[in-house]
Structure 1
């Protein structure tokens, strides 16, 4: 089976890295087309042996990219075209249909309650999405919450399949030596209490609440932020204004170093109020960290006993500061990392890959029977 994955871009982001992780476990021949930005994940995919093509799309309205994508799909004679992220879903479904592909799958990675991929939802965006959704064979939701949102939008429930994001728990497991090495490299004192956040530095992630909370916490507390994005400058200015710029550690956008950086943390906090899955939260649990989060469908869709180290909090500065104080006090009594809870094993990437493979084969058989 030959599968072409079409994605909007391959910079550092949750959907992009999730695609790379899944391709390592899918038992099919896969290739990737990125419409824009062949960034670090493109290089990583090529290092894994996955062919990556950059379409060179110049913007959302670059209609000249459509025939180029149609030609590419026809040349590849793909059995399935699988699209990821909004722009790729719109253009990819149309191109796949024009190229005569019979099986078209789209994964909805980033549909929040009021935004999609960090942008406010609009009637036009929704209409375009629904119009092109009907050209496909199936839409994959990364959580039960996203499946409900798609159905509320008007996607027919029988066309929706839930295939959760996956994590590589063994790779993320806590490593004491990696913890010491990461702290030395980043200049974090061995005795510091480190609060961590991971994600793109964009307004929706509300990392400003973490920076603001740091000003209300003792001087031995550090904030380790892993990620890059347009909010970096504003967050740096906020840290300086709050007098905590020397206590914020900016790790930048990383991929291979993430397990060591998680090991360097003592508490993980996600103040984002609107998530489609909450992958960073699940990765933190895999690393044995206690977690405080404002929104995480991956956990909210499960019984609480499956993630005993995670607690839901409000997303304000006061909420975050209070949560950190309480977690720090508990850490002082029991300074240890937990084993990965059942929720992490439920979201094992090999399991997600098997579910996606089953969907591919089901679509292929149904079309063959017809």
Structure 2
């Protein structure tokens, strides 16, 4: 079966990495078309042997016409769209090209924002119009599924398939650790507390900057970029820890940065859906988190993961206290790494691909 994946911007919100893992695991002839300029994630998809088409940054009717032409030429059996713009334009184009089997994946939807942009009534109406052209919509979290239902997407069309990872991609490498620390100007023996995510206002990284001031001798490594970076750099200066905070910027893959860390923290307010916490566990890091649905499910089932500590929502001192404790434990282990841990097979890339393939089976009647 031939499947065309249409994605708006491969680097947005980790969707590109999810698509890379998906096409690698699907037992079909997959191709990808991106509606944005090529980036590191697109190159990784292409390096994996998948054909990648670049339609550029055009919008509106021209994009739909170009997609329709590509879909007809490729004679695809299924069109699978990813992210808002691709879900609108891609589903219309697939329908115009005569494709009967259309699937979409919704990653980030809220009442206020659609993937970082204001969620106007017109934007929601356009999304729903495109949704009626398809047959199934995959939500990456129960919250996204709830928003789809609130918008009017029929329950029967919605399937929740969580984001996933390949644990082997995050295994610890001391060589990568040394290279990353040398580039960042961090001495080998300095304990490093790390955070990963978009640096947005209200994203929680201000808590980490304030907390690191209460962890003597530790350096804070923030990986990611966004509109709040300048404000966070200014806050580090105000708190007197500017010399102990490193801003690594956006990276194509976080493995090297995770290798450079000794403790991982996902502070209150960070919007990661928990996947980055699972990546840190796979890298052998002790993790401190405010919200991580996969780990919360395990804790509720009394199957807590070793080395994962949930912060108290009512105690503002729980973050610096937990950081001090984990740094001390790291020193007592003489810097040795914890073994890789996971939240179970449900969040493995192979399970995600198998679940998506079952959706294809359902919509095609295979």
Query: TM-score, normalising length from structure 1?
Result: 0.87
Instruction: Specify the alignment match of 1:96 in structure 2.
Output: 94
Q: How does 1:241-260 map to 2 (within 5 A)?
A: 241-256=238-253, 258-260=254-256
CA RMSD of aligned residues (A): 2.7
Instruction: Give yes or no for contact 1:9–1:34 (8 Å, CA) kept in 2.
Output: yes
Residues 194-232 of structure 1, C-alpha deviation per residue, up to 9 Å, x if partnerless? Answer: 1111123333533233223333432x1111122233333
Secondary structure in structure 1 of the residue aligned to 2:76: coil
Q: Distance in 2 between matches of 1:149 and 1:345?
A: 26
> 193-202 or 172-181: which moved more?
172-181
Indicate the larger mover: 280-289 or 318-327: 318-327
Shift of the 351–236 alpha-carbon distance from structure 1 to 2, 3 Å rule, reads: same
Kept after mapping to 2: 8 A contact 1:227/1:252 = yes
Kept in 2: contact 1:205–1:273 (CA 8 A): yes
Q: Select between 25-34 and 50-59 the one with higher mean Cα deviation.
A: 50-59
Aligned: 1:324 with 2:323: yes
Q: Could you say which residue in structure 2 is the equivalent of 1:355?
A: 355
2:263 matches 1:270: no
The answer to whether the Cα contact below 8 Å between 2:282 and 2:340 also exists between their aligned partners in 1 is: yes
- The question of 1:238 aligning with 2:235 is answered yes
After superposition, the Cα gap between the structure-2 partners of 1:317 and 1:63, relative to the gap in structure 1 and judged at 3 Å, is farther
State the partner residue of 2:71: 73
SS in 2 for 1:180: helix
In 2, the alpha carbon distance for the partners of 1:317 and 1:162 equals: 33
Q: Is the 8 A contact 1:110 1:275 kept in 2?
A: no
1:321, distance to aligned residue in structure 2 (A):
2.7
Structure 2 counterpart SS, 1:64? helix
Kindly tell me: are residues 324 and 110 of structure 1, through their superposed partners in 2, closer, same or farther at Cα, counting changes over 3 Å?
same
Question: In the TM superposition, what is the alpha-carbon distance from 1:102 to its structure 2 partner?
Answer: 0.7
| Corresponding residue of 2:157 | 159
Cα deviation digits, residues 226-272 of structure 1 (max 9, x gap): 2233333332233233332221222232235x223212212111226
Distance in structure 1 (CA, Å) of the matches to 2:38 and 2:150: 34
Q: CA deviation at 1:101?
A: 0.8
Please give the secondary structure, in 1, of the residue aligned with 2:127: helix
Conserved in 1, the CA contact under 8 Å of 2:198 and 2:224?
Answer: yes
Q: Which residue of 2 aligns with 1:206?
A: 204
- Partner SS state of residue 246, structure 2: strand
Q: CA deviation at 1:95?
A: 1.3
Residue 116 and residue 331 in structure 1: after superposition, are their counterparts in 2 closer, same or farther (change >3 A)?
Answer: farther
> Aligned residue for 1:9?
9
CA distance in 2, matches of 1:199, 1:37: 22
User: What stretches of structure 1 of length at least 5 have no aligned partner?
Assistant: none
Offset of 1:176 from its aligned partner? 3.6
Unaligned runs of 5+ in 2: none
Residue 25 of structure 1 is matched in structure 2 by 25
Q: How far does the alpha carbon of each residue in 1:100-139 deviate from its partner, in whole angstroms, 9 at most, with x for none?
A: 1111111112235764423454444333323322221111
My pick for the range that moved more, 295-304 or 6-15, is 295-304
Cα gap change, 1:156 to 1:12, in 2 (>3 Å): closer
Alignment of 1:7-156 (within 5 A): 7-11=7-11, 13-58=13-58, 62-111=60-109, 115-119=113-117, 121-156=119-154
How many angstroms does 1:364 deviate by? 1.7
SS in 2 for 1:106: strand
Q: Report the CA distance between 1:319 and its aligned residue.
A: 5.0
Note the C-alpha offset of 1:312: 3.0
**Kept in 1: contact 2:346–2:352 (CA 8 A):** no
* Cα contact 1:141–1:147 (8 A) shared by 2: yes
3-state SS of paired residue (2:6): strand
Range that drifts further, 84-93 or 122-131: 122-131
Q: Find the counterpart in structure 2 of residue 341 from structure 1.
A: 341
Displacement of 1:285 after TM fit?
1.2
